[in-house]
Structure 1
Amino acid sequence: MSEPFLIGDSMTGGYGKGPDILHDCTIAVDKGEIAVIVGPNGAGKSTGMKAVFGMLNVRSGAVRLGGEDITNLSPQDRVRKGMGFVPQTHNIFTSMTVEENLEMGGFIRTDDIYETIEQVYELFPILREKRNQPAGELSGGQRQQVAVGRALMTKPTVLMLDEPTAGVSPIVMDELFDRIIEVARTGISILMVEQNARQALEIADKGYVLVQGCNAHTGSGKELLADPEVRQSFLGG
């Protein structure tokens, strides 16, 4: 069995010198796959993703990308290795235009970024319409599109999304999930934390149910949706 493209392997850790939040937790995603992390509030979902991105201390375990151990790299260095991260809040520059936000996303690149901007506009046509508008004037769903678009500007091999549909309407959620599927089809791996567990598992190749920082259930999206215990405990029956 070859190792997944990105793996946070048996991670134990927490923030600063605080207590461990993750306990021997493993999260992985393969090339072009969508992996979803779900679970109750306070289960360590966002913490697990932040651990993979290098935003907290992993006291034991390791993070590997494409077979390379990146456990000790800073988040900035992980971006250079091909990881894109979209936090749940404060994920756009509100006073800048949509296009300026995308340009900021390409800051680490030395090649021409405008071809990628064009690809983002093809993925999110509404952003082309609003390219000269301050991002702070957009709706919640459109802001999320800007945030995802900005992360795509680094040409990541892995895109990590923390609660991408938080606070948006069901119609906008469906549209965002459709776009996420499109991104995965280009070969980019998607790792996503999501409160809307049922809808997220419907599009997931792989799902992780975390409880108190531990892996409670792991399987394909379909397997977890069909699992009576998962349905009863986390999907409302």
Structure 2
Amino acid sequence: MTSATEIQATDGAAPIKEPMLIGESMTGGYGSGADILHGCTIAVDPGEIAVIVGPNGAGKSTAMKAVFGMLNLREGSVRLKGADITALSPPDRVAKGMAFVPQTCNIFTSMSVEENLEMGAFLRRDDTRRTMEQVYELFPILREKRRQAAGELSGGQRQQVAVGRALMTEPTVLMLDEPTAGVSPIVMDELFDRIIEVARTGISILMVEQNARQALEIADKGYVLVQGRNAFTGTGQELLADDEVRRSFLGG
């Protein structure tokens, strides 16, 4: 596992270990509405899989969107590789190395699989063929169906297109909102296997997941949110072994 990013202190002291990405003490909500997040902190280290779980309405997806700049924070900050990006727009965060895959409406259904992947590389000015080949190696079914309209694919295959398109940006952080929603257990296991493979390349994964037990099994770090607050934080295995977490959030 790669260590956290080291930020050199200006006074010559030892480097400060900083997560690859951190949303720290985040408080905020949508527009002028009530706050949904209350001092929530989410972080992920390089090459790590961090999973956000919790009951419905806990603020999981809101925390993810806050980290990606899709809502304004009243308090708190977001840092990427030690740099404060709180004021940056989502497109500017993409340019800095973040990629976000929403739960729904995450592909262009009328475009082919390959056209969807090409759209993912719209910010790049270099040769993207190597990255596309890597996506096809990760998701072999997409190579087979590369000329097919993405809207004709199964739910699991659409998710592969969405993740592949995000990977075309060559991100340092890949953010996934409920990547296994609505897919079969077999497809869920396959998607999780691919997510593990992505993390092994050094990309940080931050993921919201409703299938909490299965997600924590692959997680280096887990966050349990309740009403927009951090309720439990630990490694995936620590949370799986915690009696209260199991009883309250994992069905015993």
TM-score w.r.t. structure 1 length? 0.99
Q: Could you tell me how far 1:235 is from its partner in structure 2? A: 0.1
Tell me which of 68, 81, 97 is aligned to 2:112.
97
Counterpart CA distance in 1 for 2:70 and 2:31 is: 10
Structure 2: which 5+ residue stretches go unaligned?
1-15
Runs in 1 of length 4+ with deviation above 3 angstroms? none
Structure 1: which 5+ residue stretches go unaligned?
none
* Counterpart in the other structure of 2:165: 150
Asked if 1:132 corresponds to 2:147, the answer is yes
* Counterpart in the other structure of 1:37: 52
Which letter maps to 1:131?
R
Tell me which of 98, 102, 123 is aligned to 1:108.
123
* Counterpart in the other structure of 1:222: 237
Paired positions, count = 237
Which letter maps to 1:205?
D
Counterpart CA distance in 1 for 2:97 and 2:239 is: 29
Counterpart CA distance in 1 for 2:251 and 2:137 is: 37
Q: Could you tell me how far 1:4 is from its partner in structure 2? A: 1.0
Counterpart CA distance in 2 for 1:212 and 1:3 is: 27
Counterpart CA distance in 2 for 1:170 and 1:20 is: 35
Counterpart CA distance in 2 for 1:2 and 1:111 is: 32
Alpha-carbon RMSD across the aligned residues, in angstroms, is 0.5
Counterpart CA distance in 2 for 1:117 and 1:167 is: 26
Counterpart CA distance in 1 for 2:140 and 2:163 is: 13
* Counterpart in the other structure of 1:57: 72
Counterpart CA distance in 2 for 1:155 and 1:4 is: 19
Q: Could you tell me how far 1:83 is from its partner in structure 2? A: 0.2
* Counterpart in the other structure of 2:195: 180
Asked if 1:189 corresponds to 2:230, the answer is no
Tell me which of 105, 118, 136 is aligned to 1:121.
136
1:2 aligns to what SS in structure 2?
A: strand
Counterpart CA distance in 2 for 1:43 and 1:121 is: 35
Asked if 1:204 corresponds to 2:219, the answer is yes
- Alpha-carbon displacement from aligned partner over 1:6-43 (angstroms, at most 9, x marks no partner): 00000000001111000000000000000000000000
Q: Could you tell me how far 1:2 is from its partner in structure 2? A: 1.1
TM-score w.r.t. structure 2 length? 0.94
Counterpart CA distance in 2 for 1:16 and 1:202 is: 35
2:179 aligns to what SS in structure 1?
A: coil
Counterpart CA distance in 2 for 1:78 and 1:67 is: 14
Q: Could you tell me how far 1:142 is from its partner in structure 2? A: 0.1
Counterpart CA distance in 1 for 2:93 and 2:19 is: 17
Tell me which of 175, 186, 190 is aligned to 1:160.
175
2:136 aligns to what SS in structure 1?
A: helix
* Counterpart in the other structure of 2:43: 28
Identity of aligned residues (%): 85
Counterpart CA distance in 2 for 1:4 and 1:230 is: 25
2:18 aligns to what SS in structure 1?
A: coil
Q: Could you tell me how far 1:46 is from its partner in structure 2? A: 0.1
Counterpart CA distance in 2 for 1:210 and 1:92 is: 28
